[in-house]
Structure 1
Amino acid sequence: MLNTPTLDHTLDDTLDVVAKETAARWVDENMPRLSEWHTHIWELAEPAWREFRSAEWYVERLTAEGFTVEAGSAGMPTAFSAEWTHGTGGPTLLTYAEYDAVPGNNQSASVTEDSREGMSRFAPGHTDPHSALGISTLAGLLATKHAMEQHDIAGTLKYTGEPAEKMHGSKVVHGLRGYYDNVDAIVSFHPFYMLPLCNTARWDTQCGAYYSKVYTFVCDEPESWQLSANPNSPIPASHSAARAPGANVALMSMYTSSRIMQDAMLPSFGGWSLSDAILLDGQATADNLPARVARIQYSWRTPNVEMAEHVLAVLDRNAEHAAQIAHCAVDVTWVARSRPGRTNHVMATVLYDNLAAVGAPSYGPEAIGVAQEIQRNLGIEVMEKPFLDECEQLITPQDAEEALREHLAPWQHNWTSDDYVEMTHYAPTVRFYVSRPALKSPAGAGAYPGWVMNALGGIPATIDPTIDVAGKTIAGTFIDLLTKPELVADARAEFDARVAADPMPALLAADFEPPIELPWPDYRTRNDVRSWG
């Protein structure tokens, strides 16, 4: 068994102690199944808003486990909401799955850089990996359910399927539609992705604001300036109209002006970023006519809403002028507009105590052998202990906070971005991390290629310890909250005080519709042959 606390029972043992042992034993006994489930989701690797088979798998699994499941929750085809209740009374606790993969990151679960068989290297792959995020929380959920049944613990478990996390797609919608209402506590998990946040919980510095918006340039009359140039043309639009400005011109004007302006949008410090992506909309061929439609998506991460709004003003202005330059109209579509997160010290303390009881992940001989083979294939001297030391160590939330603050400006209260922040505005929430496998770099060398961490996230020997520790930690935290009403009350009191001190209303309208119909990268299966669609 991995990381299962050894408990010597006495007559003084309390309900939470024995229930936690029951839950941990469930994780141990079901680890082969959990590992298989993870491999399945990791191999599906479906991109944002197109995770149809991944969501279907979760709906079927949860239904089989006795949950009442709503598929397509909040009008999102690849979302779901599941609920299970035991007994009467008790708190309502929530955790969630994510399962979107990232286009352009196709990597096999192997020790060399290689695409999964039969697929383009530009197909999606799990990078964080969200596959492990989902199966870890599912492990904690089902282990808690088992312990509640075995020890007759009352309460309600809620579990949501959150698609399109990479673009903050679903949590803001679930929140606006009331799916987090009447929840007493939320546990948010993510595999470690940056130091010092490894095997710990966030303390004061939560993630910041995230905005994402699509600008669509539409050119209905691109050749209007040429109408009198060739009155004898047998067709309304002369072939020479290809020279006329069109949607692509507007898009490129927007792209270049925003790139030029990027350094002037905000101060160079504060950890903010701006990303862009061109969405193809059936306009990817060169004909003798100018493009009628072109879309570009911008996503930006900032420490606070004020900074995010300033970037928004610059982009909106650039889009307006780019459209005018190219004789186009411009339509806008919000993808996400997330508030900075709220902290909850009560929740962070409860969770970290449970993480400390379980212990950090430990990588055995098989995992070490995999890591050493990767080093050997990269021409790196093989290390006896190839994994980052921090991957097998705990760090308290307070110590992680202190180390994090050393790199941040004093005025900066939030850092980087993740959409769990929306949940923190509906119920007391803790955000925690368990290490995913990461390798030590040789002295004087740079980071490993990106494919290495992606591959390690798909190899059972290296990723299963993450699932084991996170699942047991979530179950232990839930059991504490289910059996100790004072913890729930204290967490709620802290939440209410923080809301009163700093109200932050939602940034999108209650009837906001998720942009599922935009031409997001798709990945379809036809007759068991995988291909881009």
Structure 2
Amino acid sequence: MSLVHRSSPPEARVCDLHDQHDHETSGTDGARPSRRRIMQLLGAAGVTGAVMSAEADPAMAAAVDVTAAGYRPPEGLAQDSPAKDSALAWITGNSDRITGLNTEIWENAELSLREWKSSLAEAEFLQRAGFDVRFGTAGFPTAFTATYSYGSGGPVLGFSGEYDALPGLSQHKGVGHHDPREYVHDPFAPGYGPGHGCGHSALGTAAAAAAAAVAHSAKKHRLPVTVKFFGSTAEEALIGKTYAVSRGVYDGLDAFLDWHPSTANATGWGSSTAMTAVTFTFLGVAGHGGTPLGNKSALDAAVMMATMSEFLREENLAPSGRLHWVINNGGDIPNVTPEIAEISYYVREGSTARVQVLLDKVIAVAEAAAKASRTTVRHRITSACWNQLPSKSFAELMYDNMKRIGPPRFTEEAHQLARDLQESLGLPQRGMHAEIAELTPPNPVFLGGGSTDVADISWNVPTVSMGAALAPIGGKFHTWSTAACAAAAPGQTAVVAAAQYLAATAVDLITQPERLKAVKDEFAARTQGITWKTALPDGYEPPMYEPPEWFLKKTRQSWPPDNITWPPRRIVSQEKFSSLGPELAPQK
């Protein structure tokens, strides 16, 4: 996320977006950038800059919103009502269950596509709240859709739930220094277990609590509505929602409410970066490291690709772009020339069209590396998402509710943990963000940032994103320090506050039809002339892991789903040793 000052909510979304509580401006006082500064930024961006005309890049133009100086958010959008009071009271009355669910998912710390226990815990929470739960959404074993309906003719509101952890971020909760909960004792490759360094334990929990609260209120006050909760897998890999959208999973919604843990309490209407994730597989020939002549090292190819791709940064990477990579398979032991090596890239830009231009250059680098190393290379797209389409009117309604409810009420224990973490990380010891950040327009120059698979939903239904402070001011996500907070005092406070913000905003959409109409009218205007099409390639099959038998039985699923090939095709090198030419004649 980038700043979750939520001047740009998707940037506050982090999951892959990650935030810092700093202003999205060039000054230190939080002021909007001057016209001179804007022109400097535009000059820095040059012909590849991020301010686009609709003719040049309609997807980016629809997402960028330049508001005149002196903006003041409207007041009086959020309205008190018995229905809202009931929803908020339900959250307060069930706070122990809510925080308990957060703790349970945090302790599971399950990785993307394998959230067996976490998805079940969240689904059972919603079943107890009266929802009908169906597993296997879009073919993903750990994805589910939970539905609650009261009456007929009411709006259809969606909530977004995630529950995957990240590798290598294990950490004991409530501990202010790096102390992995799971340490991997390997004499050659020590490491740490998975952890909720992005706060998804809280994310899914708060969204589920909000959905349940709205359902409770609708029943009590006889308000026609359909509440749909989407338990989404593999957000950390940006896989779950992008593919589900392409399968029509989110069709029929009137509005979609999203949040993400943050370092600030904020919302906004900025965009995010579009992204394509791609893995390159190099195939060579193994051989003894002591007699390397004729071997073909796939690792050499991956290293060459990594090195060459770095040279793209000066002349091919605009300020709105990002390019980062990891070698996720580079061999096992130095004495065996690696026959297979894989390097994965995230290619980000302001729109899918701009991503494709940069991706083509990365692919060309891979082909050059293969040619130079005499290996072969193939690539596969593992995920691809759009930039997020924001909603100003939706953000204004969310902001008004956040102001009326107030910031999270952090205890001294929460602030002390935050200060301890800040000291460990070399940051100013400012504790937790205990206010609602001002709603400000997004930066008129799009300078890139994180990505989210919620973005694809946003082009199909009006979507709002919000951040609630779960980690210390100045901290970052995808870190052990966030895992320390997620189920400790800061996270348990944030999860309740986030549920309140989401539920209150949803109730307003039900009780104030004019608010929902304004959101839908803005969405229609922004998407006029633009047809969303998935950025995933034709014939795409999402990656999956085979579930354990107990999980299939519990969720009443069969394996494999009909949208993938199982077992997957094996990748086996058929390369030959490299020739050194004719044998040299012996010297006389």
State the TM-score, normalizing by the size of structure 2: 0.72
Offset at 1:304? 2.9
Distance in 2 separating the partners of 1:375 and 1:22? 38
Give the equivalent residue in structure 2 for 1:387: 431
Alignment equivalent of 1:260, drawn from 304, 308, 311: 311
Alignment equivalent of 1:365, drawn from 377, 387, 412: 412
Give the equivalent residue in structure 1 for 2:117: 53
Offset at 1:375? 6.8
Give the equivalent residue in structure 2 for 1:472: 500
Distance in 2 separating the partners of 1:354 and 1:449? 28
Q: Residues 371 and 429 from structure 1, CA distance in 2 versus in 1: closer, same or farther, beyond 3 angstroms? A: closer
Give the equivalent residue in structure 1 for 2:200: 130
Give the equivalent residue in structure 2 for 1:308: 355
After TM superposition, the structure 1 = structure 2 runs for residues 241-256 of structure 1, keeping only pairs within 5 Å, are 243-256=294-307
Give the equivalent residue in structure 2 for 1:340: 387
Give the equivalent residue in structure 2 for 1:430: 464
Residue 278 in 1 paired to residue 327 in 2? Answer: yes
**8 Å contact from structure 1 (residues 387, 440) kept in 2:** no
**8 Å contact from structure 2 (residues 112, 236) kept in 1:** yes
Offset at 1:312? 0.4
**8 Å contact from structure 1 (residues 305, 340) kept in 2:** yes
Give the equivalent residue in structure 2 for 1:455: 484
Residue 498 in 1 paired to residue 546 in 2? Answer: no
**8 Å contact from structure 1 (residues 222, 327) kept in 2:** no
Q: Residues 369 and 513 from structure 1, CA distance in 2 versus in 1: closer, same or farther, beyond 3 angstroms? A: same
Give the equivalent residue in structure 2 for 1:207: 272
Distance in 2 separating the partners of 1:448 and 1:490? 33
**8 Å contact from structure 1 (residues 254, 322) kept in 2:** yes
Distance in 1 separating the partners of 2:481 and 2:289? 53
Q: Residues 93 and 263 from structure 1, CA distance in 2 versus in 1: closer, same or farther, beyond 3 angstroms? A: same
Distance in 2 separating the partners of 1:510 and 1:28? 47
Counterpart AA for 1:105:
L
Secondary structure of the 2:464 match is: strand
Q: Residues 448 and 30 from structure 1, CA distance in 2 versus in 1: closer, same or farther, beyond 3 angstroms? A: closer
Residue 180 in 1 paired to residue 250 in 2? Answer: yes
CA displacement, residues 187-225 of structure 1 (integer Å, 9 cap, x when unaligned): 1101124xxxx322222x211211111111233x678xx
Q: Residues 449 and 325 from structure 1, CA distance in 2 versus in 1: closer, same or farther, beyond 3 angstroms? A: closer
Return 431-440 or 67-76, whichever deviates more.
431-440
Distance in 1 separating the partners of 2:140 and 2:477? 37
Percent identical residues? 28
**8 Å contact from structure 1 (residues 176, 510) kept in 2:** no
**8 Å contact from structure 2 (residues 181, 193) kept in 1:** no
**8 Å contact from structure 1 (residues 212, 337) kept in 2:** yes
Q: Residues 16 and 375 from structure 1, CA distance in 2 versus in 1: closer, same or farther, beyond 3 angstroms? A: closer
Offset at 1:450? 5.0
Distance in 2 separating the partners of 1:238 and 1:37? 51
Distance in 2 separating the partners of 1:255 and 1:488? 48
**8 Å contact from structure 1 (residues 137, 474) kept in 2:** yes
Distance in 2 separating the partners of 1:122 and 1:212? 24
Distance in 1 separating the partners of 2:182 and 2:144? 30
Offset at 1:372? 5.4
Residue 169 in 1 paired to residue 202 in 2? Answer: no
Offset at 1:136? 1.1
**8 Å contact from structure 1 (residues 303, 416) kept in 2:** no
**8 Å contact from structure 1 (residues 215, 332) kept in 2:** yes
After TM superposition, the structure 1 = structure 2 runs for residues 503-514 of structure 1, keeping only pairs within 5 Å, are 503-509=531-537, 511-514=539-542
Alignment equivalent of 2:230, drawn from 135, 160, 182: 160
Secondary structure of the 1:392 match is: coil
Counterpart AA for 2:193:
A
CA displacement, residues 89-145 of structure 1 (integer Å, 9 cap, x when unaligned): 211110111112221211111233211156565211112211111111111111111
Q: Residues 238 and 163 from structure 1, CA distance in 2 versus in 1: closer, same or farther, beyond 3 angstroms? A: closer
**8 Å contact from structure 2 (residues 199, 482) kept in 1:** no
Counterpart AA for 1:78:
T
Secondary structure of the 1:393 match is: coil
Distance in 2 separating the partners of 1:285 and 1:59? 43
Give the equivalent residue in structure 1 for 2:453: 419
Q: Residues 511 and 58 from structure 1, CA distance in 2 versus in 1: closer, same or farther, beyond 3 angstroms? A: farther
Give the equivalent residue in structure 2 for 1:77: 141
Distance in 2 separating the partners of 1:216 and 1:81? 35
Counterpart AA for 2:296:
P
Secondary structure of the 1:295 match is: strand
Distance in 1 separating the partners of 2:109 and 2:414? 23
Give the equivalent residue in structure 1 for 2:221: 151
Give the equivalent residue in structure 1 for 2:554: none
Alignment equivalent of 2:262, drawn from 168, 185, 192: 192
Give the equivalent residue in structure 2 for 1:106: 170
**8 Å contact from structure 2 (residues 169, 478) kept in 1:** no
Offset at 1:305? 3.0
**8 Å contact from structure 1 (residues 208, 340) kept in 2:** yes
Q: Residues 277 and 45 from structure 1, CA distance in 2 versus in 1: closer, same or farther, beyond 3 angstroms? A: same
**8 Å contact from structure 2 (residues 241, 454) kept in 1:** yes
Residue 141 in 1 paired to residue 206 in 2? Answer: no
**8 Å contact from structure 1 (residues 302, 416) kept in 2:** no
Secondary structure of the 1:25 match is: helix
Distance in 2 separating the partners of 1:243 and 1:274? 33
Distance in 2 separating the partners of 1:61 and 1:440? 33
Offset at 1:247? 2.1
**8 Å contact from structure 1 (residues 333, 515) kept in 2:** no
Offset at 1:37? 1.0
Give the equivalent residue in structure 1 for 2:543: 515
Q: Gaps (5+ residues) in structure 2?
A: 1-77, 186-190, 547-588
Secondary structure of the 2:528 match is: helix
Alignment equivalent of 2:510, drawn from 475, 482, 487: 482
Offset at 1:166? 2.0
State the number of aligned residues.
463
CA displacement, residues 470-522 of structure 1 (integer Å, 9 cap, x when unaligned): 1011111111112222322222222111111544432224753212369xxxx
